[in-house]
Amino acid sequence: MPASRLDRLSASLQTSGLDALALNPGASLAYLTGLHFHLMERPVVVIFAAAPPVVILPELEMLKVKGLPYEVKAFPYGEKPDEWDGAFRRAVESLGLDGKHIGVEPRQMRLLEFRYLEAAVGATGRRPDFPDASDVVSRLRVRKDADEVAAMRKAVQIAQSALEATLPLIKIGMTEKEIAGELVVQLLRGGSQSEMPFAPIVSAGPNSANPHASPSDRSLQPGDLLVVDWGAAFDGYISDLTRTFAVGEVDAEFQKIHRIVQEANAAGRAAAKPGVPCANVDIAARTVIEQAGYGQYFTHRTGHGIGMEGHEDPYMRGDNMQLLEPGMAFTVEPGIYLPGRNGVRIEDNVVITETDADCLSDMPREIRVVG
């Protein structure tokens, strides 16, 4: 698998105007090479130019690059930081990249690695250039193959089973943190990788009106809406789901906004088809909420791409005219948030097929009572 992806990258570099691509540890590096490194105090960079890839890494990580199914050229360094720049210079010289155009991912490349790379590429006095190569990498990753979709489907199944196992344990008086803790335990028991896509969001009552709330010590109270936004990771791929529950009896308006969001979620999923602009998914979901009179309380885009990362291309925004293609995977997650009162979000994971869209998640979306 990495060999074919490296071939695709090589072809993409030839048409992008880039002389090379430099990546540090993260999803793109893992996608292209199968190599996993922690971001730490020791810099790691892989440079893709002429084959084979060049790896600059600590000596203690050398076992990771031995026995790979493709060739790499390694430039290891020891524990003395004043020797690290030498490894970077030797790597760059081996590729003849002085003063060349080397693409990077601005959201991922740390200043630590960038400074070593910048100094090495500019060592001869020729001014280097580091263009944004996010689109180059995204074009490779955005269309998932069958194995990637299967991993995401498994991540969805793990997540759904974990929340179903958690729901009977939820009682009035429990704190948001306690519920989140139980959910994490069930995710791990169900087979999620320990490095989950994100810490679960568990928010109730006024806290649920904050889309990105962190679990707090607030206790569940009758009349709360309870938002649970959670996911699992399997074989390097993630799920990202949200369901909203009623804690005992809730006011009629809160039941109403739940129905509206449920309808908006269905409309967004129905709009997702190959050849359709991403904007149409957002517009379809948003129109339902606006026509119901709650448009000002839907404060974020309708969805984002998923795969090896929780947020990646494509994005379901009203201004994004990128066309959906088979293999693209993303969330559909409309919401209504009433400040100081309650909030609702319902989120599903969708992948575009050759003819339609396949919703990977099927946990009930209707309002359910807990506690």
Confidence of residue 314 (pLDDT cuts 50, 70, 90): very high
pLDDT attached to residue 50? 75
pLDDT attached to residue 295? 98
pLDDT attached to residue 2? 73
pLDDT attached to residue 124? 65
Tell me the pLDDT tens digit for each residue of 284-304: 999 999 999 999 999 999 999
Mean pLDDT of 4-25: 91
Mean pLDDT of 269-293: 98
Which of the pair, 358 or 51, is modelled with greater confidence?
358
Q: Is the model's pLDDT at 247 over the cut of 90?
A: yes
Q: Going by CATH, does the domain composed of 143-370 fall within 2.60.120.10?
A: no
Mean pLDDT of all residues in the chain?
95
Q: Is the model's pLDDT at 347 over the cut of 90?
A: yes
pLDDT attached to residue 125? 64
Tell me the pLDDT tens digit for each residue of 98-149: 778 999 999 999 999 999 999 998 766 667 789 999 999 999 999 999 999 9
Tell me the pLDDT tens digit for each residue of 321-335: 999 999 999 999 999
Q: Is the model's pLDDT at 214 over the cut of 90?
A: yes
Q: Is the model's pLDDT at 29 over the cut of 90?
A: yes
Which residues of the chain form CATH 3.90.230.10?
A: 143-370
Mean pLDDT of 156-166: 98
Mean pLDDT of 21-34: 96
Mean pLDDT of 40-65: 94
Fold of 2-140: Creatine Amidinohydrolase; Chain A, domain 1 (3.40.350)
Per-residue H/E/C for the chain:
CHHHHHHHHHHHHHHHCCCEEEECCCHHHHHHHCCCCCCCCCCCEEEECCCCCEEEEEHHHHHHHCCCCCCCEEEEECCCHHHHHHHHHHHHHHHCCCCCEEEECCCCCCHHHHHHHHHHHCCCCCCCECCECHHHHHHHHCCCCHHHHHHHHHHHHHHHHHHHHHHHHCCCCCEHHHHHHHHHHHHHHHCCCCCCCCCCEEEEHHHHHCCCCCCCCCECCCCCEEEEEECCEECCEECCEEEEEEECCCCHHHHHHHHHHHHHHHHHHHHCCCCCEHHHHHHHHHHHHHHCCCHHHCCCCCEEECCCCCCEEEEECCCCCCECCCCCEEEECCEEEECCCEEEECEEEEEECCCCEEECCCCCCCCCEEC
Which residues of the chain form CATH 3.40.350.10?
A: 2-140
